[in-house]
Amino acid sequence: MSKTQKPLAGVKVVELGTLIAGPFCSRIMAEFGAEVVKVEAPDGGDPLRKWRKLYEGTSLWWYVQARNKKSVTANLKHPQGREFVRKLIAEADILVENFRPGVLEKLGLGWEQLKADNPGLVMVRLSGFGQSGPYKDQPGFGAVGESMGGLRYVTGFPDRPPVRTGISIGDSIAALWGAIGALMALRHREVNGGAGQVVDVALYEAVFAMMESLVPEFDVFGFVRERTGNIMPGITPSNTHTTRDGKHVTIGANGDAIFRRFMHAIGRADLADDSGLADNAGRDAWRDEIYALIDEWCGAHDESEVLATLAAAEVPSSRVYSAVDMFADPQFIARAMIESATLPDGRAFRMPGIVPKLSDTPGSTEWVGPTLGAHTDEVLAAQGYDAAAIAELRAAGAV
């Protein structure tokens, strides 16, 4: 258990979320000291508990996504369950929810009702298309947000259909914006004497905000960014190449001085000193030829030789890491990015470390994702329910 005071100590968060976007948003807060009470349905809880690889019936992902959170069960379809949750929110600083717009309003837990109970509440609302606009009532998962937000259109190779990135990146980006928005709203409330407010995050907008120069390039030049595979459009050389032993290495030698060092290192001093390749515009005009010669050089050497040569020449490069590489890498280890934890049955396992690294008030893992409803009685008791009242709620199916 960490003894260091964490930056969000004293902040109370209620999570009404499932799967990825909402739970990841509140996970960040929990890692940095917020008291996060995750409200789950009594009949199975968050579906993430059963996603991907299961250990003894529970997702390993769950133990990471719900770390440091308290799990309580409440039936939002039962009036006493809703009353319990409304009391929780009335004492919270932040509510994180990722229901479809209108669902909480139908349950009597909409913004106007909650604000009346708790004027200082910050309500983070994560949804496919936001709380307004013609699409707001449509279902929208991360895949839809990635597609509408522009990411999938530019991901993949030009002669093939768009592809996903390999993880649910749209949900995670939205979660980050949600956490940033929540902290900005807290800052406003606490420093400027403001009231609470709604942080409205649409998944498609969260992705769209990451799309670099896509909008002005289209508006000014009519340019539509297309899929370009592993290269960085307009920036040369930056690509992934295959070595003689079948490994993949990413090389970013697009700085002018870096390119010269790179060419000298691979025995092409003629190109290093070619004035036509001295800047990016000149190199990009000869992009195909440059990539062909890099492919040829990498293909004639094993991965270890390629990386050693590039490191000696101070050319940014890396093997394309799998989990195997991460677990053995000294940088990951030195920065505690692979940390040890314990499953409920006592088995040791490893999970990702905390990001970002704060020098004085770092985040930490205090406990892994809890069993369903593990903290229900504790949280109810803190709300003033005695043992008899808790038993009555449970018998009624409210919790």
Give 99-145 pLDDT, tens digit per residue.
999 999 999 999 999 999 999 999 999 999 999 999 999 999 999 99
Please tell me whether residues 177 and 276 are part of one structural domain: no
Q: Is 325 inside a domain boundary?
A: no
Q: How many residues does the chain have?
A: 399
With bands split at pLDDT 50, 70 and 90, how would you rate the model's confidence at 194?
confident
Total domains, the chain: 2
**What's this model's pTM, rounded to 2 decimal places?**
0.94
Measure the CA–CA gap between 287 and 307, rounded to whole angstroms: 22
Tell me which residue range forms the domain holding 187. 12-210+334-396
Please tell me whether residues 351 and 242 are part of one structural domain: no
- From 319, 345, 363, the end of a domain falls on 319
Please tell me whether residues 383 and 303 are part of one structural domain: no
Decide if 200 is catalytic: no
Q: Which CATH number belongs to the domain containing residue 295 in this structure?
A: 3.30.1540.10
Please tell me whether residues 46 and 194 are part of one structural domain: yes
Alpha helices in 59-213 (DSSP H): 60-65, 79-90, 103-106, 111-117, 142-148, 169-191, 203-208
Q: Which CATH number belongs to the domain containing residue 126 in this structure?
A: 3.40.50.10540
Alpha helices in 107-253 (DSSP H): 111-117, 142-148, 169-191, 203-208, 214-221
Please tell me whether residues 151 and 83 are part of one structural domain: yes
Nearest to 185 by CA among 91, 89, 96: 96
Measure the CA–CA gap between 387 and 399, rounded to whole angstroms: 13
Q: What is the mean pLDDT of residues 51-72?
A: 97
pLDDT tens-digit readout, 132-183: 999 999 999 999 999 999 999 999 999 999 999 999 999 999 999 999 999 9
pLDDT tens-digit readout, 232-263: 888 999 999 999 999 999 999 999 999 999 99
Please tell me whether residues 258 and 385 are part of one structural domain: no
| Choice among 93, 171, 200, 284 that is catalytic | 171
